[in-house]
Amino acid sequence: MEKLKPRIIRLDEVDSTNEYAKGIAPDVPEGTVVVARRQTSGRGRRGRSWASPEGGLWMSVVLKPKKVDPRLVFTGALAVVDVLDEFGIRSGIKWPNDVWVDRKKIAGVLTEGKAGQYVILGIGLNVNNPLPAELRETATSMIYLIGAKVPLDKVLERLVFHLNAWYRLYRARPDLLMVKVRERTFILGRIVEVSQDESSFVGRAVDVLDDGSLLLDVNGELRRVVHGDVSLRPL
C-alpha cells in the first residue's frame, strides 16, 4: 500500500467537508484532504448537526479502500487519540465514533462510503473553537483543557500523520488495529445504555470484536451490536 500523499485543499467556508470530499472523490487520489475554517452545515451521524465554528479542526480525507468497512472509523478515532496524547491530553474512544476526555466529547468521526468507489472519513476536533451553550455540559475542547491557544496547523499535520499510520496498519493487519482500539475504548467493562430508533437497553460492554462490533452482556446474555444506528451512553 502506498503512503497517503496528503494533498490538502483548504477552504474558508463550506457546508460540510464530507459533502465537498464526496463531490471530488472520483477525480482525486486517495489521501486528498479537505479542511475548512468553518462549516455551515457540519453533520454527525443520522444527519445530526455538528457545531463547526472557526477555530476547530474540520476535515475530511478521501480513502479508496477495497470495501466500505465500518472499522475504518477507528483509524480516525485512534489518530485523534494520538494527537491528543502528543498534546498531553489523555482521551478514550467511545465506541464507535467519538473521542472523549473524562466525561466529555472532544471529537467525532463520520465515515460515509460508496461501495467500490470511496470512503470519506470526516473528523471534527474541538481545538480553539468556542462551544455553543447547549454543548457546554457534554463537550470539551483542546484550548479549554490546555488553557492556551493551540496551533491548528500543527494539529492538522499530526492528525494526517497518525491517520496515515493507522490506515496503513488497517490495510496490512486489521486485527492489530483492533488490538489498539480495545486498548483505548474506555467503555469496556462499563455499564452503557444503547439506543436504537425508539428502543433502548442497558448492558455491560464486554469487548470490541475483530469485525468492529461491540459485545455486550445484557442480563447474562451476550448481545452484539454493530455500528450504524446505535447511540451509546456510558452510565
Residues that bind ligand ATP (CB under 6 A): 44-46, 48, 50-51, 97-98, 105, 108, 124, 126, 135, 139, 231
Q: Does 45 bind ligand BTN (CB under 6 A)?
A: yes
- With contacts defined by CB under 6 A, name the span among 53-61, 80-88, 134-142, 221-229 that binds ligand BTN: 53-61
DSSP 34: E
- Amino acid found at 167: Y
Is residue 3 packed enough to be buried (19+ CB in 10 Å), middle (13-18) or exposed (0-12)?
Answer: exposed
Q: Does 82 bind ligand BTN (CB under 6 A)?
A: no
CA distance 203 to 191: 6
**CA distances in angstroms from 127 to 6, 66, 179, listed in the order given:** 21, 32, 28
For ligand ATP, the closer of residues 200 and 231 by Cβ is: 231
For ligand ATP, the closer of residues 33 and 73 by Cβ is: 73
The runs of H, that is alpha helices, within the chain are 17-24, 72-86, 142-146, 152-172, 174-184
The CB-of-83 to ligand ATP minimum distance in angstroms stands at 16
The CB-of-135 to ligand ATP minimum distance in angstroms stands at 5
**Residue showing cell 479502500:** 65
The CB-of-152 to ligand ATP minimum distance in angstroms stands at 15
DSSP output for 134-186: GGTTTB--HHHHHSS---HHHHHHHHHHHHHHHHHHHHH-HHHHHHHHHHHBT
- With contacts defined by CB under 6 A, name the span among 10-18, 68-76, 208-216, 219-227 that binds ligand BTN: 10-18
For ligand BTN, the closer of residues 22 and 206 by Cβ is: 22
Q: Which does 139 bind (CB under 5 to 8 A by kind): ligand ATP, ligand BTN, none?
A: ligand ATP
Q: Does 96 bind ligand BTN (CB under 6 A)?
A: no
- Burial of 205-217, coded b for 16+ CB within 10 Å and e otherwise, reads bbbbeeebbbbbe
The site for ligand BTN (CB under 6 A) is made up of: 16-18, 39, 42-45, 50, 52, 58-60, 97-98, 108-110, 122-124
